[in-house]
Amino acid sequence: MDAVNQPLVVKHLGHQTYEPVWHAMQKFTDERDDQTPDELWLVEHPPVFTQGLAGKAEHILAAGDIPVIQVDRGGQVTYHGPGQIVAYPLINLRRHGIGVKSLVYGIEQAIIDTIGLYGITAKRLDNAPGVYVNGAKMASLGLRIRKACSFHGLAFNINMDLEPFQRINPCGFSGLEVIQLADMASDVNLATVEQQLIAAFCQQLNFTAAN
């Protein structure tokens, strides 16, 4: 299958608790075949910490009343909450003709391009997946590949309560500053940023969005 401008089914899930969406991603990946269209799920989760496969308990400093869920993605602990765009690309990498590194690069570049629309320069950091502005983290990334297909994805801080990030070492880095788009730009609307991110994702990874 030609990797150029393949259809991508975009699903807006709204506000959903974490675990049912996680298990739905697993089920979708396990049951898909070579004819199953690729999908991009967008969701906002209630407050939750998720601990990746490499996660160490000492990076959770004081979870308090926020649940901690052990999950099957790469990476360390992160936080999801309202006002954050969480996007899960469910991509058949083999069929689409890309590897994991290309997927990670494309996701990060889509976020960088989206942030750039607001006059802000964002960057990658070596050996620290995600997107950063002046060394502070605005978006995190954690993926799982099964049967050459991706699930889990990215979390992009838009306009949220950042306090829970102080209860953890974000992504395993002690003292890492976490920021959000609304604190650096005016007129930030989550739904608008979501559409901008979808467009940038499709441009970077050669998809055409279909709802």
Interval 16-30 mean pLDDT: 98
- On the question of pLDDT at 45 being above 70, the answer is yes
Count of domains for the chain = 1
- On the question of pLDDT at 26 being above 90, the answer is yes
pLDDT one-digit tens code per residue, 115-171 = 999 999 999 998 888 999 999 999 999 999 999 999 999 999 999 999 999 999 887
Q: Is 149 a catalytic residue?
A: no
| Share of residues in the chain with pLDDT > 70 (%) | 98
Interval 102-108 mean pLDDT: 97
Does residue 11 lie within any of the structural domains?
yes
Establish whether 186 is an annotated binding residue. no
pLDDT one-digit tens code per residue, 57-80 = 899 999 999 999 999 998 889 999
pLDDT at position 57:
87
What CATH number has the domain bearing residue 34? 3.30.930.10
Establish whether 59 is an annotated binding residue. no
pLDDT at position 4:
57
Establish whether 154 is an annotated binding residue. yes
Domain that holds residue 95: 6-51+82-161+178-210
Count CB neighbours of 117 within 10 A. 14
Residue type, 126: D
Distance CA 208, CA 3 (A): 11
pLDDT at position 2:
45
pLDDT one-digit tens code per residue, 192-205 = 999 999 999 999 99
Does residue 173 lie within any of the structural domains?
no
Q: Indicate the range of 92-101, 165-174, 187-196 predicted with least confidence.
A: 165-174
Establish whether 102 is an annotated binding residue. no
Does residue 57 lie within any of the structural domains?
no
Establish whether 84 is an annotated binding residue. no
Does residue 63 lie within any of the structural domains?
no
Interval 67-94 mean pLDDT: 95
Does residue 200 lie within any of the structural domains?
yes
Residue type, 12: H
The three-state secondary structure class of 176 is coil
Does residue 35 lie within any of the structural domains?
yes
Catalytic residue among 149, 171, 179, 205: 171
CB contact set of 23 (below 8 Å; sequence gap of 6+): none
